With several copies, the nearest count.
Chain A
Amino acid sequence: MSDLSVNIAGLTFKNPVTTASGTFGYGEEFREFFDPGELGGIFVKAVTGKNRDGNAYPRMAETPSGMLNSVGLQNKGIDHFCREIYPKIKDFDTRVIVNVSGSTIEEYVEVAERINELENIPSIELNISCPNVKLGGMAFGTVPAMATEVTAAVRKVYKKVLMVKLSPNVTSITELAKAVADGGADAITLINTLLGMAIDAERRRPVLSTITGGLSGPAIKPVALRMVWQVHKAVNLPIVGLGGIMNATDAIEFILAGASVIQVGTANFIDPMVSVNIVRGIEDYMKRHNVGAITELVGALRTD
């Protein structure tokens, strides 16, 4: 028997396969396809302080081996989450981790504090790719000092496992990773979407209502792998890796590059069963390569 279990800052996952925030809803819809209990964990859609309508339609553009989205954190806010969503997901037989967003440090802190009280949520993932409304719209995740500050502020009130999800739209991902490590993060999630744009040449208009949006899918896999590898070498924190994972081979690549846990995102849209199939594919790989425990593969890329 292969041992698929992994551990991030003391939090164990039965296997390293989880689903990415914003691509799995709150897990509800997927119960029509499979039991979420087969996964290591699920990262649910971003929760903010108040209700957000998100951006106007159109919010999606297909691109070569990928897609752009500009959903814009549509959610009903933390109150609604605690009252309506939490009861439905709290007994999933898997790790349920909440993606936390905000436009001010106070908002991040408020949401984190509330989620800290929810017994069956063992961890949050701070999404610091949002623009900081107080600081002129520059994203928290692009300025190291801001990244440290928001992480430290949440760290003060949040007592469980604190993951911070970084934006890839930066000159130096290792600098940002160090910044959130300084702020007290327990783990780093890499990567969120790349900022991109699509144009409809016939109508001479942007495809998205917001003009630009976030690029995800296999197109970004090379960039994501590179960042996981760079951060793995530079920072001594566990990594949650994602970006374009479509199958077990992709997942193994991220693990070899240094990810302890991987997330499946856009691939869920194309095959709702993909995450479960990836669990099985990882097992096959381990058998074929005679790997007893998946942890042996974390960061095990040979570069000699």
Chain B
Amino acid sequence: MEIKKFVQDLRVVQNIRLNKRHFILELQSPEKFPLILPGQFVQVLVSNSPSTFLRRPFSIHSVDYANNSLRLLVQIKGEGTLHLSKLHDGDSLNVIYPLGNSFSLPATRDVLLVGGGAGVAPLLFMAKLLNQDHIHPTILLGFRTKEEVSEIEEYSKYGTVLVTTDDGSAGEKGLVTDHPVLKGERPAFRKIYCCGPEPMMKAVAKIATMHQIECEVSLENTMACGFGVCLCCITPTDKGNERVCVEGPVFNVNRLNWGQEEK
């Protein structure tokens, strides 16, 4: 399916600070939204920072078609995200969207969503879509500390939420892969959607593969264009080098040559 892409000045309608490192940016379009799917992302121009030359990609955290607004969940990493964190209601932000493919719909009702850090972003959107199909997923979210645990009420609308923190200050202590639902003999899921730091995704993919659970991950390769023309964002797949921004960001792990060369 070919979805038309927009290059638009979106209006910042809210900038909600979740904690020291994370915030939510709500952006509104002057026009009617096209169809947007969970797993897709946007490319944001950070025009007021002298050290951001290229756009910055962010997953779409949620979409409100009634208001033609979408939300991004952003983690402050460097100059670009720091500048975004300072935007105010009414500011304007140039965005290309919607980009990339999307999570596929599951052929099962036993669904687990796993996210870590800012990687949880696309999962909220996905959980909502699953609900429309009357699927009530288990949602396993990993955070650094209790302080960073956020939006649990939002996720709880769509599924059963489980939490891990690195320091045990909330939920289970450890990484998401240390949580009983994934560590147990045989996880009770037939499909996993996963998004987060690459080592986390690889660990989840390993568990999934071991138990023959279907698993889709959303990759965060560095991008120059975000719409398929520069060939900078590639990942090796069973079909050769594919573009994460067009053929991805979502890949079924059985298509990725993961586990061969670790750094």
Question: Which A residues are closer than 8 A to B by beta carbons?
Answer: 22-25, 29-30, 32-33, 45, 53-54, 56-67, 69, 71, 74, 217-218, 266, 268-273
Contact = CB atoms under 8 A, between A and B. Distances in A.
Q: What is the interface of chain A mostly: helix, strand, loop, or mixed?
A: loop
A24 B228 CA distance: 9
Interface stretch (B120-128, B131-139, B205-213, B233-241): B233-241
A29 B227 contact: yes
The size bracket of the interface on B is 20 to 34
Given A74-B234, A270-B45, A29 B7 contact: no
Contact of B5 (A25, A33, A65, A67): A33
A74 B53 contact: no
Interface of B: 2, 4-5, 7, 45, 50-55, 96, 221-236, 240-241, 246
A218 B51 CA distance: 10
A272 B227 contact: yes
B51 A64 contact: yes
Contacts of B7: 33, 271-273
Contact of A60 (B224, B228, B236, B246): B224
Given A53-B241, A269-B55, A58 B5 contact: no
B234 A69 contact: no
B215 to A, nearest CB: 21
B234 A32 contact: no
B230 A217 contact: no
Contacts of A24: 229
A135 B205 CA distance: 45
A74 B231 contact: yes
Given A29-B227, A69-B230, A269-B225, 18 more contacts: A24-B229, A29-B229, A32-B4, A33-B7, A58-B221, A59-B233, A60-B222, A60-B223, A61-B222, A67-B53, A71-B230, A74-B234, A74-B241, A268-B225, A269-B224, A269-B229, A270-B54, A273-B7
Nearest 8 Cβ contacts at the A-B interface: A60-B232, A25-B229, A269-B225, A29-B228, A59-B232, A71-B231, A32-B5, A269-B224
Chain A CB count within 10 A is highest, among B7, B50, B51, B229, for B229
A57 B235 CA distance: 7
B217 to A, nearest CB: 15
Contacts of A266: 224
8 contacts: A29-B228, A57-B234, A58-B222, A59-B234, A62-B53, A67-B53, A269-B226, A272-B225
A283 to B, nearest CB: 21
Chain A CB count within 10 A is highest, among B52, B225, B226, for B225
Given A53-B241, A57-B235, A23 B5 contact: no
Contact of B53 (A22, A32, A33, A66): A66
Contacts of A63: 53
A270 B57 CA distance: 12
A24 B40 CA distance: 22
